[in-house]
């Protein structure tokens, strides 16, 4: 069951909030439709329920708010708009990646593909899917973790009748198995055909919460509700006049003194009742279960009506003209599960009475008094004539303020003072949890698109060309020759490629959120960061080895064995080379995670040799009294035992690399980015 209490969005400058005190329930085993026109607040309400937008209120899914559920994707399946994923990723690859994020078996991807009927499209790219197939894939993502609750925002928008019928069948089947389904729509007929319960929103407030039978009766066929002690007589007269004027009017006698008239309007019915002196207690257009309050009707009545009694026709036309100005000021008085139903107008004072005023209605009720004819009074004596204006001893009302004019009596019921209810709790945007299998998720994310393979191919081609050009000039050392790193470039192509691949790890996800099926955002968590750093390191190392190997083979083929001899300091040189490439990859990952952009990640990599290196060089070459010369030897002296396998040599190589301007600048940049990333992760927890 879904229970939403007091959902209220934050105000938008001078505009009212898009959603104001929305409360409703979606029971288990039933399909609930959230109905409303465009800009009525349906999407905002859904985002508040899923804690994707700030505001106030709380939503319970089977008794627990979403942030208290350990694995939200296993409890709530979400479909918000189109499927968020890289356009070049395949349908099957997208689902398998989300399987790793949800912690379910990879076989579940093939199962949901069969459920939604797109097994034949498993190798299709996301960017090539039609609207209907995209909706099927979105539903497959929502069903991936076998959730109990489905929340779908406009699932049948822009779908054909056949696709919409299939989608509604899936929703009905999920509810019949004991699940809960909530979907939004702006089509009243779709809500009546599909849902078991319909919650209607208008201007961000709930104006009706009905079973589908009541909704279809009151909403799909506009009608005029009439209450009169002579309902049968009035119905016969209306049918007789309709036949005489050859109009299609249907009169249904529903409950003794209540009529439902289809195909007519308040003005015509009011004129008929006035001509035949028939007492009318209610005359109202019913669209849903909402109507204007009495103070809106009072402002809509003709000005200056004091001495002359208005007729039923004038009253009906005034009500009809004010029906478009329905105030939502009292819509938040509806409790969850309560149907909001208000009378638009009460005309009980046609017989000179006003005793039918509801004692429990905390809104204004306007009564227009017109003295009846003596014949009509004798023929139809009112059952509650003790409170007429002519009564010399009217019944006192302790909680009402009555103002009487010769023809108009306004009664305003004053509710008893009550303390204001406390505000609902604030809604905080909480990002998705880390993928349950982050390393597997990251591997599938990195290998599921061709971007990494294309980038690696470009890096290898550029490195080969640069290596040949550097070897032709003969002015570069062998280490720079094998790395294809000319003096004119701030970084070698392999380091730039590794940084770009690292920037894709986070920046690409923010452009195409891969975890949208879970909570609609990409988490910045330490578990996911470690997985991305591990995969980025493996990718960078593979790229570094591939560049050196391909350059060595090409140089050996073109210029012979002279340029491919193994140098004496190959260990320290290799360590420096690998550390440089891995450091650039890490800088790209961290910068993209902090700034949420691939471009920012690559810019951070380029800033190391262009901006940070000159600052480090200026700091190292400045005036100094002492230096750190001989640090590796002193470190060896401090060790109690000798390091196995010559470990002190690796330490010395690492220290020499840090002492170089590029190495020191890269280490400084990675450290700063890591601190910034940790701040972005820990700051929400501190709040």
Q: Spell out the SS3 assignment of 369-409.
A: CCCCCHHHHHHCCCCCHHHCCCCCCCCCCCCEEEEECCCEE
Residues comprising the chain, all counted = 687
> Nearest Cα to 685, choosing from 460, 446, 505, 525?
525
Q: Which domains does the chain have, with CATH numbers?
A: 2-211 (3.40.50.300), 221-413 (no CATH), 438-686 (no CATH)
Beta-sheet pairing, 258-262 with 250-253: antiparallel
Q: Any long-range contacts for 391-398 (C-beta under 8 Å, 24+ apart)? A: 395/355
Backbone dihedral angles phi then psi of residue 183, each to the nearest 5 degrees:
-135, 155
Task: Look up tokens 């070897």; give the residue.
Answer: 471
> Nearest Cα to 142, choosing from 153, 127, 152?
152
Angle of helix 312-322 relative to helix 266-275, nearest 10 degrees, comes to 170
Q: Which two tokens stand for residue 350?
A: 């046609």
CA distance 321 to 300: 7
**pLDDT score of 223:** 84
**8: β partners:** 56
> Nearest Cα to 159, choosing from 182, 138, 188, 131?
131
**pLDDT score of 590:** 94
**pLDDT score of 626:** 61
CA distance 606 to 533: 19
**pLDDT score of 213:** 86
Intervals of the chain under pLDDT 50: 288-412, 640, 686-687
**pLDDT score of 358:** 33
What 3-state DSSP class applies to 291? coil
**pLDDT score of 295:** 34
Per 3-state DSSP, what percentage of the chain is helix, strand, and coil (rounded to 5)? 50, 15, 35
**pLDDT score of 300:** 36
CA distance 443 to 630: 43
**pLDDT score of 503:** 94
**pLDDT score of 641:** 52
**pLDDT score of 356:** 34
CA distance 531 to 534: 5
Q: What is the largest CA-CA distance in the chain?
A: 127
Residue 203 CA to its chain's centroid (Å)? 18
In eight-state DSSP terms, residue 621 is S
> How does pLDDT run across 401-451, given as a tens digit for each residue?
333 333 344 444 555 655 656 778 898 887 777 788 999 999 999 999 999
Residue 69 CA to its chain's centroid (Å)? 18
**56: β partners:** 8, 426
> How does pLDDT run across 599-656, given as a tens digit for each residue?
999 999 988 888 877 776 676 666 655 655 665 566 556 554 555 555 555 555 555 5
Beta-sheet pairing, 400-404 with 282-286: unpaired
List Cβ neighbours of 167 (8 Å cut-off, separation of 6 or more).
Answer: 135, 139, 155, 156, 159
* Whether the Cβ atoms of residue 523 and residue 513 lie closer than 8 Å to each other: no
Q: Which two tokens stand for residue 672?
A: 């700063």
CA distance 503 to 591: 7
The 3-state secondary structure of 578-620 reads HHHHHHHHHHHHHHHHHHCCHHHHHHHHHHHHHHHHHHHHHHH
Query: Counting beta carbons within 10 angstroms of the beta carbon of residue 516, is it exposed (0 to 12), middle (13 to 18) or buried (19 or more)?
Result: buried
For CA atoms 462, 464, 465, 467, the dihedral sign is positive
**pLDDT score of 406:** 39
CA distance 247 to 262: 11
List Cβ neighbours of 634 (8 Å cut-off, separation of 6 or more).
Answer: none
**pLDDT score of 365:** 32
Angle of helix 438-447 relative to helix 91-102, nearest 10 degrees, comes to 160
**pLDDT score of 683:** 63
Task: Look up tokens 């905080």; give the residue.
Answer: 428
Q: What angle do CA 119, 125, 129 make, to 5 degrees?
A: 75
CA distance 553 to 463: 12
In eight-state DSSP terms, residue 23 is E
What 3-state DSSP class applies to 453? helix
Strand order from edge to edge, sheet including 408-413? 364-368, 408-413, 400-404
């Amino acid at each position: 069951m879904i229970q939403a209490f007091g959902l209220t969005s934050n105000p938008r400058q001078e505009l009212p909030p898009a959603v104001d005190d929305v409360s409703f329930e979606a029971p288990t085993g039933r399909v609930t439709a959230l109905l409303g026109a465009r800009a009525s607040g349906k999407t905002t309400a859904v985002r508040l329920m899923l804690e994707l937008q700030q505001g106030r209120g709380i939503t319970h899914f089977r008794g627990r708010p979403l942030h208290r559920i350990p694995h939200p994707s296993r409890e709530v399946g979400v479909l918000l708009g189109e499927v968020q994923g890289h356009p070049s990723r395949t349908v099957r690859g997208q689902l398998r990646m989300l399987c790793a994020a949800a912690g379910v078996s990879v076989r579940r991807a093939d199962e949901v593909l069969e459920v939604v009927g797109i097994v034949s499209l498993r190798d299709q790219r996301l960017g090539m899917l039609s609207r209907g197939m995209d909706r099927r894939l979105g539903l497959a993502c929502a069903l991936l973790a076998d959730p109990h609750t489905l929340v779908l925002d406009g699932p049948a928008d822009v779908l054909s009748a056949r696709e919409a019928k299939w989608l509604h069948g899936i929703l009905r089947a999920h509810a019949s198995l004991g699940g809960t389904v909530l979907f939004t729509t702006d089509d009243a007929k779709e809500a009546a055909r599909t849902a078991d319960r319909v919650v209607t929103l208008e201007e961000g407030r709930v104006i009706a919460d009905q079973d589908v039978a009541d909704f279809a009766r009151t909403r799909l066929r506009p009608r005029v509700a009439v209450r009169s002690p002579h309902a049968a007589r009035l119905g016969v007269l209306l049918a007789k006049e309709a036949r005489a004027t050859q109009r299609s009017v249907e009169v249904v006698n529903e409950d003794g003194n209540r009529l439902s008239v289809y195909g007519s309007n308040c003005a015509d019915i009011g004129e008929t009742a006035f001509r035949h002196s028939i007492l009318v207690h209610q005359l109202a257009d019913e669209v849903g279960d909402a109507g204007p309050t009495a103070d809106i009707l009072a402002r809509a009545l003709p000005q200056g009506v004091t001495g002359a009694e208005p007729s039923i026709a004038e009253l009906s036309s005034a009500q009809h003209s004010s029906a478009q100005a329905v105030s939502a000021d009292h819509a938040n008085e509806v409790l969850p599960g309560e149907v909001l139903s208000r009378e638009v107008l009460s005309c009980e004072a046609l017989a000179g009475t006003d005793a039918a005023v509801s004692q429990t209605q905390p809104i204004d009720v306007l009564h227009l008094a017109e003295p009846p004819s003596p014949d009509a009074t004798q023929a139809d004596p009112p059952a509650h004539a003790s409170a007429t204006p002519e009564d010399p001893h009217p019944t006192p009302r302790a909680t009402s303020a009555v103002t009487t004019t010769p023809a108009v009596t306004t009664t305003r019921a004053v509710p008893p003072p009550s303390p204001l209810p406390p505000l609902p709790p604030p809604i905080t945007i909480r990002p998705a949890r880390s993928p349950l299998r982050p390393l597997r998720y990251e591997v599938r994310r990195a290998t599921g698109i061709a971007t990494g393979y294309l980038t690696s191919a470009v890096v290898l081609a550029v490195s080969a060309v640069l290596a040949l050009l550097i070897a032709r000039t003969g002015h570069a050392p062998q280490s720079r020759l094998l790395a294809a790193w000319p003096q004119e470039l701030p970084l070698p192509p392999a380091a730039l490629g590794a940084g770009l691949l690292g920037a894709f790890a986070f920046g690409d996800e923010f452009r195409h959120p891969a975890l949208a099926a879970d909570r609609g955002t990409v988490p910045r968590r330490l578990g996911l960061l470690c997985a991305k750093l591990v995969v980025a390191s493996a990718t960078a190392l593979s790229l570094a080895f591939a560049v050196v190997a391909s350059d060595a083979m090409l140089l050996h083929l073109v210029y012979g064995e002279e340029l491919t001899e193994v140098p004496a300091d190959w260990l320290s040189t290799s360590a420096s080379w690998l550390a440089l490439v891995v450091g650039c990859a890490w800088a790209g990952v961290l910068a993209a995670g902090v700034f949420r952009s691939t471009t920012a990640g690559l810019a951070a990599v380029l800033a190391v040799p262009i901006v940070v290196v000159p600052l480090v060089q200026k700091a190292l070459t400045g005036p100094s009294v002492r230096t750190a010369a001989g640090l590796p030897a002193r470190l060896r002296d401090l060790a109690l035992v000798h390091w196995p396998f010559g470990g002190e040599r690796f330490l010395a190589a690492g220290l020499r690399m840090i002492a170089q301007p590029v190495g020191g600048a890269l280490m400084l940049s990675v450290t700063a980015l890591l601190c910034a990333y940790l701040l972005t992760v820990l700051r929400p927890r501190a709040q």
